[in-house]
């Protein structure tokens, strides 16, 4: 049986004469999981009390990108640089994380997914990279996201280090980043300016891996980026 991968869905409106709400995820995530041999299942934003039932139905949890994490969840007031948030999404995904850990099921996060995982375990974020003291790289690239834009250094003794080189090129599209790293995580990749690019869990019932870049947008042209999905689905 294929591993069932629960993808925490986002939501948006479309207007075509009338306004319609959509629950969705990026097709790139779906295809990356399918190519890796997984069976993707969307988990629409809902009542946090339903998180246990959702996690019961899947083998692993995937958290994608999108909204800024609401700063109330890491005990900060909103800054003027904060972009769109979705408190209902935050609460639901935080409940999914809590339940996945309770059931010992692996979690993989991308971009916002990494940031939310850090917040879920009492870490904090820079609400905007303008507050980061050492930024020297443009972390919002203006060229195609199918192209890489900067280097990261990956710890050899880590999940990513099992199949990626120590010096690795990635794409970049984020204006927030991890500030204080939550206790259950160790940093396993950084950009050359020190911005955290990947974390993994230590000492939790669940194995957790997360990256700040977007492998779903490069996987069709860079084979090693698809390997990240392969590793999540088959090995994490």
Q: Which residues are catalytic?
A: 111, 214, 216
pLDDT tens digits along 38-88 = 999 999 999 999 999 999 999 999 999 999 999 999 999 999 999 999 999
Nearest residue to 176 (alpha-carbon basis) of 26, 93, 70, 62: 70
What pLDDT is attached to residue 14? Answer: 79
What pLDDT is attached to residue 17? Answer: 73
Domains and their CATH numbers in the chain = 4-234 (3.40.50.880)
Q: In angstroms, how far is CA 108 from the centroid of its own chain?
A: 7
pLDDT tens digits along 173-194 = 999 999 999 999 999 999 999 9
pLDDT tens digits along 206-222 = 999 999 999 999 999 99
Rounded-to-integer distance, Cα 32 and Cα 211, Å: 15
What pLDDT is attached to residue 16? Answer: 74
Average pLDDT on 10-21 reads 82
């Amino acid at each position: 049986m294929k591993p069932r991968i629960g993808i925490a869905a986002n939501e948006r409106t479309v207007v075509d004469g009338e306004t319609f709400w959509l629950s969705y995820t990026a097709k790139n995530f779906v295809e990356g999981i399918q190519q890796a041999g997984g069976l993707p299942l969307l988990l629409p934003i809902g009542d946090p009390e339903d998180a246990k039932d959702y996690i019961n139905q899947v083998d692993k949890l995937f958290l994608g990108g999108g909204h800024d994490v609401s700063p109330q969840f890491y005990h900060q007031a909103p800054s003027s640089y904060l972009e769109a948030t979705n408190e209902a999404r935050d609460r639901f995904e935080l409940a999914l994380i809590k339940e996945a850990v309770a059931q010992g099921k692996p979690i993989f996060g991308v971009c916002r997914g990494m940031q939310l995982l850090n917040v879920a375990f009492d870490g904090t974020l820079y609400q905007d990279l303008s507050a980061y003291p050492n930024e020297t790289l443009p972390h919002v690239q203006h060229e195609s996201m199918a192209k890489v834009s900067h280097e990261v250094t990956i710890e050899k003794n880590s999940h990513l280090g099992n199949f990626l080189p120590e010096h690795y090129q990635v794409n970049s599209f984020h204006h927030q980043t991890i500030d204080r790293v939550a206790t259950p995580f160790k940093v396993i990749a950084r950009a050359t300016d020190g911005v955290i690019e990947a974390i993994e869990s230590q000492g939790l019932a669940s194995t957790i891996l997360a990256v700040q870049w977007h492998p779903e947008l490069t996987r069709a042209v860079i084979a090693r980026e698809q390997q990240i999905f392969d590793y999540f689905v088959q090995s994490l």
